[in-house]
Amino acid sequence: MQTINRMIVSYLLNSFWQITVIAAVVLLCSMFLRRVPGRYKHNLWVVCLGTCVLVPAATVLMQVRGGPRFEARSAQVAGLAEHAAPPRRGGWSWLSFGSRNRPVQFGSALVDALAFLYLALLIFRGLRLGWVYRRTSRIRNRAYERVLPPTLARAAERCRSLLAGPITLLCSDEIMSPATLGWSKPVLLVPSDFFTGEISEEDTIAALAHEVAHIRRQDFLLNVFYEAISVPLCFHPATRLIKARIAQTRELACDEMAARLLPSGKHYAHSLLRIAQTVFAGAPPTKSNYAMGLFDTQVLEERIMNILRMNKDVRGPSRTRTLAAFALVCVVSLLTSAFSLRVADANSTDSQRFVGTWVTKYKGQTFITMKLQSRNGVLVGTCNHVDRVSDVDGELIPSSDQFVDQDIVQTKVSGNKLELWIGGHDSIHVEFTLKSANEADVMMVGDQPNGGPDQAPLPKKPWHFQRVAEGR
């Protein structure tokens, strides 16, 4: 469970800065694309949401797959910094994920608390998502068929050319402006005011055409999908901005499609203004739902300005600018995935300080070499040493030129001290004490991990070990 909690907190840490960077870049790109068609800007913000979902998740998955290797490499680089540079690898080493992985230490209680709060928030957001969807379905179920007045019938017939198919049109007393619901069999809900004949045919065409554009683009289904995949990002302030921009640019794209059914963009803009005055005059506040309404986003001014710019033919430059923006977002996403923070286990973090190759020398010649590495937070390794030593004035010195290899069979970390048991049945018990990042004293403690009272006195002078680069 601790491992899962650390993964969750690592996801939160990386999401905070990665999503901020990606959203900031897309916001700058959207300013650069201010005069391009709304559908291009909409696609850019959808890509932004997708990368914000995928990049932090991929970062954590890469950490899980390469966890032990990243831990060992991070410790080796940190430990060898003062004496030797680590060996460089060719190719794309400057973009290596492992070389940019940085462990972060948190207390176990804090990790558990953050993971619990995040899971509670996910459950809350998931329940709210279901509640809003249920409310939307209730609006659909309460809608009813009604005889269409001539003005509304002609407007619906005109809009069928945009959809290239039949339109299911129902009356609803719970909405203030036309709205679209459903994905397999979408319906167009129309408020009762449109059945009185008080709204002109041109304004009715503008309102219905906008909703038919939502149906053609399958915006209802896509909106539910965007809401669902953004649930893991609900803790981040930028998520609200991203979702708002997706909704706003979606309205721009639908306006561009709907305006083709009117004589000009100016006519469509005037119709929007007249409908808005009718809808918002004394209208009560609406409750949240997933219906694609005509005025669900507060960007009427931006929509009007976008419609009035539609006559300018900027398709070529727009596509070039949009492709450049997409390429920039992809590059930034890859770069952010190459840098990450990893919440390390407290015991694992302590053990990383001992990872590396340690040697001790006598008269310039190495006679003990310890190689320590971390596997799933546990120190393991080997010890290469001379087969015989002599006690001279309380210090063990080599008395042979023959070397043997033995496995380190047991370790125990406590702060700056590491207890090691080397060998098999007759294991040697030593105590490894860090004095600095790359220096340590090693004392012989006993011949057995559980040595008895009859154990012979041991030398009192420690061996002085230094950490060296691999291959030296």
The answer to whether the CB of 122 falls within 8 A of the CB of 231 is yes
* Residue 152 resides in a domain: no
User: How far apart, in whole angstroms, are the C-alpha atoms of residue 323 and residue 328?
Assistant: 9
User: How far apart, in whole angstroms, are the C-alpha atoms of residue 267 and residue 210?
Assistant: 14
Interval 319-342 mean pLDDT: 89
Residues 74, 36 share a domain? yes
User: How far apart, in whole angstroms, are the C-alpha atoms of residue 413 and residue 378?
Assistant: 9
What pLDDT band is residue 103 in, cutting at 50, 70 and 90?
A: confident
Interval 222-246 mean pLDDT: 94
Residues 436, 392 share a domain? yes
* Residue 452 resides in a domain: yes
Domain boundary among 344, 360, 380: 344
**pLDDT one-digit tens code per residue, 48-66:** 999 999 999 998 888 877 6
- The per-residue DSSP string of 416-465 comes to TEEEEEESSTTPEEEEEEEEETTEEEEEEEESSTT--TTPPP---SPEEE
Domain boundary among 344, 364, 386: 344
Neighbours of 195 (CB within 10 A): 16
User: How far apart, in whole angstroms, are the C-alpha atoms of residue 448 and residue 277?
Assistant: 89
pTM (global) more than 0.75: no
Residues 416, 457 share a domain? yes
* Residue 178 resides in a domain: no
Query: Tokens 């909704």 identify what position?
Result: 247
Lowest-pLDDT range, 68-77, 98-107, 334-343?
68-77
Q: Quick one: which of 70, 75, 66 has its CA closest to 371? A: 75
According to DSSP, the residues that pair with 291 across neighbouring strands are: none
| Stretch (H or E) spanning 283 | none
Phi, psi of 220, rounded to the nearest 5 degrees: -65, -50
Residues 242, 370 share a domain? no
Range of 16's domain? Answer: 1-141+202-344
Q: Quick one: which of 164, 214, 165, 224 has its CA closest to 189? A: 214
Q: Quick one: which of 217, 220, 138, 145 has its CA closest to 179? A: 220
Alpha-helix runs per DSSP H in 259-314: 265-280, 300-308
Phi, psi of 101, rounded to the nearest 5 degrees: -85, 125
- The per-residue DSSP string of 154-198 comes to HHHHHHHHHHTS---EEEESS-SS-EEE-SSS-EEEEEGGGGTT-
What pLDDT band is residue 447 in, cutting at 50, 70 and 90?
A: low
Over 60: is that where the pLDDT of 347 sits? no
Residues 218, 318 share a domain? yes
Strands (E), 29-162: 101-105
Helices 150-163, 201-217: crossing angle, 10 deg rounding: 30
CA max distance for the chain: 113
Strands (E), 2-110: 101-105
Residues 310, 277 share a domain? yes
User: How far apart, in whole angstroms, are the C-alpha atoms of residue 158 and residue 251?
Assistant: 20
* Residue 196 resides in a domain: no
pLDDT score recorded for residue 240: 94
Reduced to 3 states (helix: H, G, I; strand: E, B; else coil), residue 218 is: coil
Helices 237-258, 265-280: crossing angle, 10 deg rounding: 120
Residues 30, 103 share a domain? yes
Average pLDDT, the chain: 81
**pLDDT one-digit tens code per residue, 290-311:** 565 666 656 778 888 888 877 5
User: How far apart, in whole angstroms, are the C-alpha atoms of residue 240 and residue 246?
Assistant: 10
CA angle 244, 214, 318 (to 5 degrees): 65
Over 60: is that where the pLDDT of 465 sits? yes
Residues 106, 22 share a domain? yes
Task: Read off the tokens for 366.
Answer: 């190495």
The answer to whether the CB of 292 falls within 8 A of the CB of 257 is no
Lowest-pLDDT range, 62-71, 357-366, 438-447?
62-71
Residues 231, 83 share a domain? yes
Lowest-pLDDT range, 80-89, 274-283, 331-340, 405-414?
80-89
Secondary structure percentages of the chain, helix, strand, coil, to 5: 50, 20, 25
Residues 298, 375 share a domain? no
Q: Quick one: which of 384, 392, 388 has its CA closest to 360? A: 384
The number of domains in the chain is 2
Domain boundary among 290, 323, 344: 344
User: How far apart, in whole angstroms, are the C-alpha atoms of residue 432 and residue 354?
Assistant: 9
Reduced to 3 states (helix: H, G, I; strand: E, B; else coil), residue 267 is: helix
* Residue 156 resides in a domain: no
Residues 408, 305 share a domain? no
- What is the chain's length? 472
Query: What percentage of the chain reaches a pLDDT higher than 90?
Result: 31
Residues 408, 307 share a domain? no
| Stretch (H or E) spanning 339 | none
* Residue 166 resides in a domain: no
